[in-house]
Amino acid sequence: MSRPVRSKAFDDYCRTMMCPRGHRRSITFIEGSGAEITDLSVRDRALLENPTARFAGQPVPGFLRRLRRLGDDVLGGVTVTRFRSDSVIACGPCGEEWPVFVPALGGAVQVRRERAVRIETTPLGEEVSTIDHSAVPVDSTVSVQISCGWTKSIEIEWGRTTTRTGTVRVGASHGALSLSLQRQVQESLNERHKISTQQAQTYATSVEVRVPAHAVAEVVTRWKQRWRVIEYDLWVPEGEEVTVVCRLADGPSYDSALRFR
């Protein structure tokens, strides 16, 4: 089994003692509850509060540990007792967490965080239902059936994709995902929302209207597709953190109005 690989956020912290957004002396280490990682590289083992008791066959001098602890206190270093598979570093001012090691994804895409952004709508068309009460001598309430076809799908706005490298978020024009990686992201989000293909569906309901005696009325229904705009923070197999923006088709909405001929 290969040794765990540092995430870019953690590696950057080890070099600069700052979080990916540039905050110093604000990082905390959260050990987690996953499996303990013992097959560490020398540089990661050296970060432990109590590293291997012997160095080059000799006991580790106590003053070296005390010196390192003093340096951590001055520079804002964290105390690490042990590393686990789900250990993270967290920044208070940012309110964000970053994995210490690249997750063992097995070639898959992993969703780290989901954020609802807003609701958008697009036109789906207009439906007109005619009610002929020209021979009806009294006012009456009528129930009218209306329906609309829509497609369950998720659309990823690849032009708004960003990747995080060190402390910089790079726009897609400089760091676009490969086509194969785009397919993996699309498949992962399709699976998350249980979308096997673009699924055509029909939404049906009824509206009640009051029609006067001897009137010919039309129920005009304007349909709209409702979209949930969502941001996803993802880990991709290359160990990079990627943010994608997508629109999830969330069913139709409608407005109905009554007009008379």
pTM of the model: 0.61
Distance of CA 126 to the CA centre of its chain: 34
Q: What pLDDT, on the 0 to 100 scale, is given for residue 49?
A: 65
**Single-letter amino acid code for the residue at 80:** V
Q: What pLDDT, on the 0 to 100 scale, is given for residue 257?
A: 93
Q: What pLDDT, on the 0 to 100 scale, is given for residue 69?
A: 53
Q: What pLDDT, on the 0 to 100 scale, is given for residue 205?
A: 95
The number of C-alpha atoms within 13 Å of 261 and in the hemisphere containing its C-beta is 13
| Cα–Cα dist 205/220, whole Å | 14
| Cα–Cα dist 217/261, whole Å | 6
CB contact set of 96 (below 8 Å; sequence gap of 6+): 19, 21, 90
Using 50 as the pLDDT threshold, list the residues of the chain that sit under it.
1, 52-57, 60, 63-64, 67, 70-72, 74-76, 166-175
Q: What pLDDT, on the 0 to 100 scale, is given for residue 177?
A: 75
Q: What pLDDT, on the 0 to 100 scale, is given for residue 134?
A: 92
CB of 199 closer than 8 Å to CB of 154: no
Q: What pLDDT, on the 0 to 100 scale, is given for residue 53?
A: 43
Each residue of 104-136: b (16+ CB within 10 Å) or e? eeeeebbeeeeeeeeeeeeebeebebebebeee
- Cα torsion angle, 20, 7, 26, 72, sign: negative
**106: helix, strand or coil:** coil
